[in-house]
Structure 1
Amino acid sequence: MTEPKRAPGGFPVVGVVGGGQLARMMQGPAIELGIQLSVLAEDAYAAAALAIPSAPVGEHTDLEMIRKFAASCDVVTFDHEHVPQDVLAALEADGVVMHPTPAALRHAQDKLVMRRRLSELGIACPRWAVARTASEVAEFAEEVGWPLIAKTPRGGYDGKGVLLASSVDDMAEWLTQVGRRGPLEDGLLLEERVDFVRELAVLVARSPSGQAAAWPVVETVQTEGICTEVLAPAPGLDADLASVVTEAALRIAGELDVTGVLAVEMFEVRPGGASSSSSYVVNELAMRPHNSGHWSMDGAVTGQFEQHLRAVLDLPLGDPRPRAPWTVMANVLGGEDEELYSAYRHIMARDPGAKIHVYGKGVRPSRKIGHVNVSSDDLESARERAQHAADYLRGTVRE
């Protein structure tokens, strides 16, 4: 294991647990700021390990390995939410500085904990319940109607761990796992199916000293449970609603004592419906740089990865304002073609303004392997340009 060495000038070492693309994309801003990144990667070929020289290999569940890793870092942050709470508690007892803290991170790790806390705070949420038996599912369905949404409280992402259920029978397999050790140990999270207008995301950053900053509210477009496009800012969003949801995200960050970047994923709803008396309901939380904020790498004065580093080091936060009227992010999903580099010549020649970001991950169908950002004065032009570049990288278009 290579120990990270403090850079000349007293610059700190930031440790990132998890070797995915989020840690990889922190490396550019870290280099510019003179900050040393070290990443605990799951293997030597993880996305971040290919870009960050200090990349010891270890599992995020291995307490002794993480202890050894954290001992060489000034602050530890996370590429994902899956580090077990007992591991986090042991690190906290060791005096390791972690951002976000284990207490805050628990709300992103466990959807039941999140729902309870947001409801206590009066934040608009879908109607929800915990179910451990078929009769409890039926009781909730009688209140909100079928179909309903069932979720595993822990471990789900990109549509995994989420089920649209039209009957109790649809949840039969999950109900047999309730009470066993694992993501259904505490029961199923049930939510009403929200009749939403569109999906929004609010990205904010908060430092340990309490400074906070918010990027413009964005619209996210989902395809089969995976985000495929982000429009920044959300087109046609009522200014009052933008203010309300931004205030809600900042309040969540403050009340949960979040440090670093926080993404609050929301549904815009028609006020007065069964879902809510408000114009939004909160769907999910993520306490790290997030897919909905990738547009900021090229489209904002301060991108989310630089801002996350500033926040976890308690440095003054940067300006989150957009650089252009519109920035569109199109996710590149894996297709049948594993060769990506050969597409560069066409994309760069056709559109010199397109910004390509590839994650260094193995290609497999529907896996997020990169994204393209396009900024413009014209939204539809930006959407077409970003989508063409993403489709060409995926291999679904060839002209």
Structure 2
Amino acid sequence: MKRVGVIGGGQLARMMIAPAVELGLPIGVLAEAEGAPAALATTLVGDYRDLETVRAFAATVDVVTFDHEHVPQAVLRALVADGVVVRPGPDALQYAQDKLLMRERLGELGLPVPAWGRVASPEELAAFISRHGPRVVVKTPRGGYDGKGVRVIEHAAEADDWFASLAEDGNGGSLLVEEFVEFSRELAQLVARRPGGEIALWPVVETVQKDGVCAEVVAPAPASDGPVSETAAAIAVAVAEGLDVTGVLAVELFETVDGRVLVNELAMRPHNSGHWSQDGAVTGQFEQHLRAVVDLPLGDPSPLAPAAVMINVLGGPEGQSMPDRYDRAAALNPSAKLHSYDKLSRPGRKVGHVTLIGDDAERVLADARAVAAVFAD
């Protein structure tokens, strides 16, 4: 079996370890620091931005994949030039790394997105606000996640510091600005794709954000049968094929108050919105990602129950970890599945999640919230 190398030692890499063992896939991790969540499989600690470090890691595996999308394009393309199998490849990953490139490419594919613009000055931003205001969303094109690098503003001056940072870089640059979308809820559609084009889709899910961080996921999204699920699936397939993605792709979506479905963000790796599938689907996203990147036939993504819920554990008592309270949580609901990222708690930090499946979404959601609350008090 092919040896899989994961760049990035976070919780996503950590959660690939168990399905890799089950599939008989040797797995190694390039972690940023000692003691990272994926320490169980860490074979090298170093800087993923340093080409020679990444080359040394790649030499120990057959396929390279990712815990995050931050590896520089120059490093990725050098690996490909060396003959390393990189999945997803740099031609696909560039659209997850740069939101401006992503918006341009989605437009070329004819996919529905918010009205947007590339702005390189406060004057250009002010002009966009005059057309699409009173509120707009400004984003840094690269590096933002969990609400970072995103601002809702009414006046161009509210982004002056970002423009100043661009000027200090000396390379120019632009910000992404978008219309403020009046949405009724946020959705996410996960899809997995093999190199040859085989595709598997999980149900579209509803996500709830707290301070820009995903807090809850319900699968399938309530009241999504018919046009909503069909549209979400069609968009995800079009993105996966149009960008030639290999592995798991998450397409984050807005369902607008007037019934449209718009693409918000992309992630080319397992994603928070798919954690429910670990315990709620025949084949979870972490196993599926591994199957895809080593080019095995994809597994069945069908749900195991009418409803599945994932609740993120955010924060908790300072200096504690989730296992410190496992006894209380397990006693409260023996059906709940507890997933620790091996992180100590601090305010707002993702330290793990809880999943639960059942017949009634409202009941499952309430029960999962109660278990997650054990870790927060």
1:120 aligns with 2:113: no
User: Residue 9 of structure 2: which of 9, 19, 28 is its match?
Assistant: 19
Residue in structure 1 matched with residue 277 of structure 2 by the alignment: 296
Alpha-carbon displacement from aligned partner over 1:36-79 (angstroms, at most 9, x marks no partner): 11000111200001x22x42111111110110110111100010
5+ unaligned residues in a row in structure 2: which ranges? none
Residue in structure 2 matched with residue 324 of structure 1 by the alignment: 305
1:68 aligns with 2:56: yes
Q: Offset at 1:219?
A: 0.1
Residue in structure 2 matched with residue 264 of structure 1 by the alignment: 251
Q: Offset at 1:179?
A: 4.3
Q: Offset at 1:97?
A: 0.2
Residue in structure 1 matched with residue 262 of structure 2 by the alignment: 281
TM-score, structure 2 normalization: 0.97
Q: Offset at 1:342?
A: 3.1
Residue in structure 1 matched with residue 293 of structure 2 by the alignment: 312
TM-score, structure 1 normalization: 0.92
Which whole-Å CA distance do the structure 1 matches of 2:169 and 2:268 have between them? 25
Of 331-340 and 16-25, the range deviating more from structure 2: 331-340
Residue in structure 2 matched with residue 227 of structure 1 by the alignment: 214
5+ unaligned residues in a row in structure 1: which ranges? 1-10, 272-277
Residue in structure 2 matched with residue 335 of structure 1 by the alignment: 316
Q: Offset at 1:209?
A: 0.8
User: Residue 192 of structure 2: which of 198, 201, 205 is its match?
Assistant: 205
Alpha-carbon displacement from aligned partner over 1:295-335 (angstroms, at most 9, x marks no partner): 00000000000000000011100000100000000000112
Residue in structure 2 matched with residue 241 of structure 1 by the alignment: 228
- Conserved in 1, the CA contact under 8 Å of 2:231 and 2:261? no
Residue in structure 2 matched with residue 97 of structure 1 by the alignment: 85
Residue in structure 1 matched with residue 20 of structure 2 by the alignment: 30
Q: Residue 56 of structure 1: SS of its match in structure 2?
A: strand
Of 238-247 and 35-44, the range deviating more from structure 2: 238-247
Which whole-Å CA distance do the structure 1 matches of 2:282 and 2:235 have between them? 23
User: Residue 348 of structure 1: which of 330, 352, 373 is its match?
Assistant: 330
Alpha-carbon displacement from aligned partner over 1:184-224 (angstroms, at most 9, x marks no partner): 95211000100001000000000101101100000000011
Instruction: Compute the RMSD of aligned alpha carbons.
Output: 1.3
Q: Residue 223 of structure 2: SS of its match in structure 1?
A: coil
Q: Which runs of at least 4 in structure 1 moved beyond 4 Å after TM superposition?
A: none
- Conserved in 2, the CA contact under 8 Å of 1:197 and 1:269? yes
Aligned pairs for 1:25-64 within 5 A: 25-49=15-39, 51-52=40-41, 54-64=42-52
Q: Residue 227 of structure 2: SS of its match in structure 1?
A: helix
Q: How many residues align?
A: 376
Alpha-carbon displacement from aligned partner over 1:322-374 (angstroms, at most 9, x marks no partner): 00000000000112343232311111112110000001123221111100001
Counterpart of 2:93, as a letter, is: L
- Conserved in 2, the CA contact under 8 Å of 1:372 and 1:390? yes
- Conserved in 2, the CA contact under 8 Å of 1:177 and 1:185? no
Aligned pairs for 1:124-203 within 5 A: 124-181=112-169, 185-203=172-190
Which whole-Å CA distance do the structure 2 matches of 1:60 and 1:47 have between them? 16
Q: Residue 69 of structure 1: SS of its match in structure 2?
A: helix
Q: Percent identity?
A: 55
Of 200-209 and 55-64, the range deviating more from structure 2: 55-64
Q: Residue 373 of structure 1: SS of its match in structure 2?
A: strand
Q: Residue 45 of structure 2: SS of its match in structure 1?
A: coil
Residue in structure 2 matched with residue 274 of structure 1 by the alignment: none
